[in-house]
Every structure is written in C-alpha cells, then in structure tokens.
C-alpha cells in the first residue's frame, strides 16, 4: 500500500493538470454513457412492447411528457438522433482520454527510466560492487515494462472508480433501496476479494524473483559461452535452465488461475444476485416496469464495474513487486550517490602540481568482516613521474588504484591530491584528468572509430592515427576489412586480446590525460608489441603522471618509483636497482622467481 501511495503521488506530481483533464474526460464519458440509458425508456414506450408506468420517477415522467403529442416517427428520430449524438460525444472524449492516458503513461515511464538511469550514473563504485549487474538490467527492462503496464492499470482503476461513483449516484436517484442492496453485496465482494489480491501480490513477488534469476542465468551463460563449449557443460546448463523455465511457467499459470477463479466466482455471485434482485424488486418492492427495467440495466452496468475494480486491484497487486523493486533501486542509488552533477564535460580536469597521497589508508570490501583489503597504506605518487605497483595476486594493487581514483572510499585515513583531501566535490575533476586502462578493458560493439570517438567526439583523423601509431595499433587497423570503420563485435570479440589492449591504449592516449593508469595493460601482448608500448610509455615519462600495475618486472625497470605490496600493505618502496639489491625483500624474491622462469 505504501508503494501504491508513493506511486500515486509521483504520477500526480509528474502529470498534474493532464491527470485532472484525463479524469474529467473519464467523467464525461461516464455521464454520456449513463445518459444513453435513459433513452431506453421512451424508446421502449414508443415500440409499444410494454406499457411503461413511470410513476415515482419524475425525470422519466418529464421525458415521457416531452414525447407525448409528437408523431411516433419524429419521436423515434429524435431519440435515435440524441443517441447518436451521445455516442459520438462519447467517442470523441474516449479518443482524447485514450491519447491523454497514453501521454501520462509513456511520459511517466520515460521519467522513471531517466531518473533511474541518472541515479545509476550518480551512484558510487561501491554500489556496483554490491549489486548484480543482471538485476539492474532486469529492473531497467522487464520490471520497467511491468511498471508501465501498472500505470495503465492504475489509470484504468481511477477511471473505474469515477464511473462507478457516477453510476452509483444515478442508481441512488432511481432507487435508494435497490442501490443499497447492490452496494452492500459489492462491499462484501471487495472484502472477500482481499484474499485474491494478497495471493496475486505474493505470486507477483515470486514472478519478480524468477525473472531476476532468469536474467542472471541468461547473462551468465552467454558471457561464459566459451567456457561452456570448451568444457562441454551444455547439458548441465540446459538442465538448470529447464528447471527455471518450468518454475516460471507454473508461476504464470498460478497467477492466471487465481485471477480467473476470482472472476468465475464473481460471475456466479452476480448471476445469483441479479436473480435475487429482480425477484426482490418485483415481489417485495412491487417496482414499476420502468423502474425494474432501469435498475436491471444499471445493475448490469454497475456490477461489472465493481468486479472490474476488484480485478484491477488484483492485477495491480501483481505489478506492485516490480514497482517496489524499481523504487528500492532508486533509493539505493540515492544512498550511494557520489556525483553532484552528471554534466562532467563542463568540469575542468585537475591541474596537479605535487601528486597524489595515501595517508594511513585502511579499506575493506565488506564492512561486516574484519579482513582489510588495504591496511596502513602510506604512499606518495609523484607528479609527472612513473610509479609501478607490484605484488602477488590478491595483494591489493587494483584496490589501491581504485582508491586513488576515488572509486573506493577509505574506511580510515585519506587520499589527497596536492595535499587537498579527495572528496565528492573534486573527484570528477580528478577523473577528468585520468585515462585508465583496466585489466579487462571495455570496448563497445561498434566500429573502431566509434570506440575511439567516445572519448573525444571532436578528435580529428590525424589525431586518431597519431594515437593509434603511439599504441602500436595503426598497422593492424589498416589491415582490417573496413579500416577504422570495421565493427569489432561484443566487447571487441573480433580482435585478439593484444589488439584489444592496443586499441584501448590508443583510446586512453586520445584523451590527452595528465594521469595515465595502466592495470596490467600489456599482459596480453607479445614481446615485440610489448616492447613498442614500453618505448611509447618511456616517451611519455616526464609529460604525465603514470601509474602502472605490472606482473612482468622487466617492464618496469625504468619506473621512477616501485611500490611493492603484500597482503594489503606496502612493504617496500624505491627504484628498481635499490629494491633489486635488497635480497631479503619481497621484490628481490619476485625478481628471482621471474628470472628462474625465464631461464
Ligand atoms: N569486489 C570485491 N569484493 C570483495 N573482495 C574483493 C573484491 N575485489 C577484490 N577483493 C579482494 O581484495 C583483495 C585485493 O584484491 P585486488 O584485486 O586489489 O588484488 P590485486 O593485487 O590487484 O590482484 P591481481 O594481481 O590478481 O589482480 C583480494 O583478497 C580480493 O579477494
């Protein structure tokens, strides 16, 4: 209910005036629809099928009086003419209302999508470390679709409520006793249907969980297809997939069963009620023919409205979990907000003079656990110098880099830029000056050119080739079937690992950063290409601050400073020659191991 109210408030806040115009249109449609009912009375009178007695119904008396004295054909034409006018009016309002409804629905869903996406972009990296990517995709696609259907249901629900009230008012005007009778049973029905609404809601929750798992499984399976194929895991995955789709099928059938059972029960109840109702009006109240006719017609209109509201509530109940998931995601994003604004292109890159510092930094991924990924880290990354970070796998190298870029926040201690603490205010400015190449760099399923221009849409052809030459990528790109305009597949799958790394390096250079961070960016390169990149990086020395994580120690021989990490701590700092001489140190050991491997 809480989410429903929140949702109503949001739709109201978003659509404002249009929502009211939409409601007025609905009311007019309802009024025109009800007015057409009254025409039935003089129409029946004219046919002479029944001798109508409209005593006690002053409005109908007045109507019958109007037609007395007018020739039968003229009366018929007038009545039918009014009927056509009412229907035309209804059609016109219905059209406007449908368009307005679509505007509210589509506009609101667009706002929800945009707000959620903005929230995702504002959120910090910690949020993404906690969340499953496929869950976010599921909310942005499937659940968003359900929410959109929910908005439609919500508008329908409001329309049903309004029309029902109009018809109740008319029914009261015609017969207080009989309308009270219908309402009494209507109320019982709504109370009785609570069970169905609750059941729909819980099945909706189950649907949400299953769709989330479905999305996660499909994403995982597709991402791991190479592993699946090369290790012959097809059957295991198929079995898992079949069991899930079976559960999904059962869930949907259960939901349809609940909805159709309630509809069936209400149909049965309405048949019994209408029979009892007619009996009651004729035998007990001795109602007049016109009254009975009208009330029967109204009953036939009013009762489906009440059951319609019930069915609407049931369907809304099943879409509520999707809405809740969407609102929860928006709230989580808001709680993890790091960026003040998304207009990052207007932010000036930071102009660093001295360098970056970590001062007694402690960091853990899971606040509930005792294990720190980084402990007592004190390090200075000098401006325009090359710093290499080395250490065994899991030592904390990538974590340290994430902290330096402000992606992770220190639990204790702080990161500073030129002695100013790194905060949410200056983090964008710092990142604008960084080009970062991760271990598993990302390339879009687009052309080489598009992948490069994403970093700088205004880059000229000359600058593009210059960056490609620099990264030893120009030669292989020239050989591609369409050169720069060749599509490279999902995450650049049509390129080799080394080609991908070189292309990403060219992209990083195109940005003209003042800080270049490479996290094992040359690990997939052959000796020849690695040497070329080494040379290129050498040429950059003194022109920008370079931080590299390297496993192959030969590649960092010329670094100005080497930081050695072990189990989350910095255990040695110095230049290559000095560290190599410290025979008892971890760096010396690493060097020995690598020498032996090469030998
Ligand atoms: N997202 C995460 N959630 C929880 N723990 C993590 C996460 N990422 C890394 N860790 C843990 O933090 C520690 C440091 O990991 P990190 O990736 O920084 O090491 P690394 O030195 O870069 O290793 P490698 O050379 O293998 O890339 C490891 O124990 C790792 O298991």
List residues near ligand 1 (CB under 6 A). Answer: 129, 365, 373, 391, 393-399
> How far does residue 398's CA lie from ligand 1's centre (Å)?
7
Q: Dump pLDDT digits (tens) for 80-90.
A: 888 888 888 88
Residue with the nearest Cα to atom 16 of ligand 1? 396
Contact, 27 vs 166, CB < 8 A?
A: yes
Ligand 1: nearest atom to the Cα of 401: 18
ipTM above 0.95, yes or no: yes
For 25, residues 6+ apart whose C-beta sits below 8 A from its C-beta are 93, 94, 96, 97, 100
Tell if the pTM clears 0.80, that is, is over it.
Answer: no
Chain position carrying tokens 């059957």? 235
Query: Which of 129, 367, 398, 547 to mutate to test ligand 1, by most ligand atoms within 8 A of the CB atom?
Result: 398
CA 386 – CA 545 distance, rounded (Å):
6
> How far does residue 571's CA lie from ligand 1's centre (Å)?
17
Lowest mean pLDDT among 279-288, 303-312, 459-468, 558-567: 279-288
Any idea which architecture 438-512 has in CATH?
Answer: 3-Layer(aba) Sandwich (3.40)
Q: What is the pLDDT, as a whole number, of residue 70?
A: 75
| Backbone phi, psi, residue 369, to 5° | -100, 165
For residue 486, how many C-alpha atoms fall within 13 Å in the half-sphere facing its CB? 15
Give the burial string for 122-142 (b: 16+ CB within 10 Å, else e): bbbebbeeebeebbbbbbbeb
Residue with the nearest Cα to atom 7 of ligand 1? 365
Edge-to-edge strand ranges of the sheet holding 374-382: 374-382, 355-363, 412-417, 420-421
- The rounded percent of the chain whose pLDDT value lies above 90 is 26
Q: Is the pLDDT of residue 539 over 70?
A: yes
Task: Report, in this order, helix, strand and coil percent for the chain, each rounded to 5.
Answer: 65, 10, 25
Q: What is the pLDDT, as a whole number, of residue 244?
A: 93
Q: How many beta carbons lie within 10 A of that of residue 590, not counting itself?
A: 18
Give me the residue spans of the domains in the chain: 2-335, 344-433+517-525+550-599, 438-512
Q: Do domains 344-433+517-525+550-599 and 438-512 have the same CATH topology?
A: yes
Q: What is the pLDDT, as a whole number, of residue 386?
A: 93
> How far does residue 389's CA lie from ligand 1's centre (Å)?
14
Residue with the nearest Cα to atom 3 of ligand 1? 365
Query: Which of 125, 358, 365 to mutate to test ligand 1, by most ligand atoms within 8 A of the CB atom?
Result: 365
Q: What is the pLDDT, as a whole number, of residue 549?
A: 92
Ligand 1: nearest atom to the Cα of 400: 18
> How far does residue 365's CA lie from ligand 1's centre (Å)?
9
Q: Dump pLDDT digits (tens) for 171-206.
A: 787 777 777 877 887 788 778 778 888 898 899 999
Q: Which of 520, 534, 512 is nearest to 467 (CA)?
A: 512
The per-residue DSSP string of 298-312 comes to HHHHHHHHHHHHHHH
Chain position carrying tokens 């018929």? 76
pLDDT class for 128, splitting at 50, 70, 90? very high
Q: Is the pLDDT of residue 523 over 80?
A: no
CATH 3.40.50.300 at 2-335, yes or no: no
* 508-512: average pLDDT: 89
Q: Dump pLDDT digits (tens) for 212-225.
A: 999 988 988 888 88
Residue with the nearest Cα to atom 26 of ligand 1? 393
Fold exhibited by the domain 344-433+517-525+550-599: Rossmann fold (3.40.50)
For 59, residues 6+ apart whose C-beta sits below 8 A from its C-beta are 38, 173
Contact, 559 vs 573, CB < 8 A?
A: no
Ligand 1: nearest atom to the Cα of 439: 27
Residue with the nearest Cα to atom 25 of ligand 1? 393
For 222, residues 6+ apart whose C-beta sits below 8 A from its C-beta are none
> How far does residue 64's CA lie from ligand 1's centre (Å)?
87
> How far does residue 279's CA lie from ligand 1's centre (Å)?
78
């Amino acid at each position: 209910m809480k989410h429903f109210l929140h949702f109503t408030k949001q739709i109201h806040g978003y659509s404002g005036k249009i929502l009211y115009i939409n409601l007025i249109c609905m009311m007019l449609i309802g009024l025109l629809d009800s007015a057409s009912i009254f025409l039935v009375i003089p129409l029946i009178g004219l046919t002479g099928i029944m001798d109508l007695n409209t005593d006690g119904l002053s409005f109908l008396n007045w109507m019958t009086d109007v037609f007395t004295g007018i020739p039968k054909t003229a009366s018929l034409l007038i009545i039918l003419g009014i009927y056509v006018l009412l229907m035309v009016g209804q059609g016109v309002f219905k059209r406007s209302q449908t368009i307005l409804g679509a505007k509210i629905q589509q506009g609101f869903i667009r706002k929800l999508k945009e707000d959620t996406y903005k929230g995702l972009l504002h959120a910090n990296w910690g949020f993404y470390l906690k969340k499953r990517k496929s869950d976010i995709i599921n909310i942005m696609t499937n659940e968003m679709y359900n929410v959109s259907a929910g908005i439609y249901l919500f508008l329908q629900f409001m329309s049903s409520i309004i029309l029902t009230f109009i018809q109740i008012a008319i029914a009261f005007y015609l017969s207080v006793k009989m309308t009270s009778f219908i309402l009494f049973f209507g109320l019982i029905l709504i109370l009785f249907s609570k069970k169905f609404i609750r059941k729909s809601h819980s099945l909706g929750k189950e649907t949400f969980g299953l769709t989330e798992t479905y999305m996660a499984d499909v994403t995982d399976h597709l991402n791991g297809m190479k592993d699946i194929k090369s290790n012959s895991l097809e059957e295991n995955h198929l079995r898992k997939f079949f069991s899930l789709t079976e559960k999904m099928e059962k869930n949907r059938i259960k939901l349809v069963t609940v909805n159709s059972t309630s509809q069936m029960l209400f149909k049965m109840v309405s048949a019994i009620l209408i029979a009892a109702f007619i009996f009651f009006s004729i035998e007990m109240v001795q109602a007049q023919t016109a009254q009975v006719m009208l009330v029967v017609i109204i009953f036939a209109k009013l009762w489906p409205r009440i059951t319609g509201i019930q069915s609407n509530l049931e369907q809304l109940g099943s879409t509520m979990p999707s809405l809740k998931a969407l609102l929860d995601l928006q709230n989580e994003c808001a709680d993890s907000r790091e960026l003040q604004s998304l207009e990052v292109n207007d932010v000036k890159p930071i102009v660093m003079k001295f360098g970056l510092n970590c001062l007694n930094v402690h960091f853990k991924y899971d606040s509930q656990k005792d294990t720190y990924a980084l402990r007592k880290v004190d390090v200075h990354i000098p401006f325009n110098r090359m710093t290499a970070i080395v250490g065994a796998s899991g030592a904390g190298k990538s974590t340290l880099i994430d902290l330096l870029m402000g992606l992770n926040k220190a639990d204790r201690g702080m990161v500073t830029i030129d002695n100013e603490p790194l905060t949410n205010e200056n983090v964008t400015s710092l990142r604008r000056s960084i080009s970062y190449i991760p271990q598993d760099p990302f390339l879009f399923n687009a052309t080489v050119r598009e992948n490069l221009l994403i970093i700088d849409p205004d880059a000229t052809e000359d600058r593009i080739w210059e960056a490609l030459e620099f990264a030893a990528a120009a030669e292989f790109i020239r050989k591609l079937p369409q050169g720069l305009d060749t599509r490279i597949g999902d995450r650049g799958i049509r390129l080799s690992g080394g080609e991908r790394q070189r292309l990403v390096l060219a992209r990083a250079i195109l940005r003209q950063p003042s800080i270049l961070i490479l996290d094992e960016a040359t690990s997939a390169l052959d000796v020849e290409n690695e040497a070329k990149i080494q040379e290129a990086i050498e040429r950059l020395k003194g022109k920008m601050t370079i931080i590299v994580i390297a496993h192959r120690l030969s590649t960092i021989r010329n670094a100005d400073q080497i930081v050695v990490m072990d189990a989350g701590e910095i255990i040695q700092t110095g230049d290559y020659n000095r560290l190599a001489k410290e025979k008892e140190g971890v760096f010396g050991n690493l060097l020995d191991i690598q020498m032996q491997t090469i030998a």
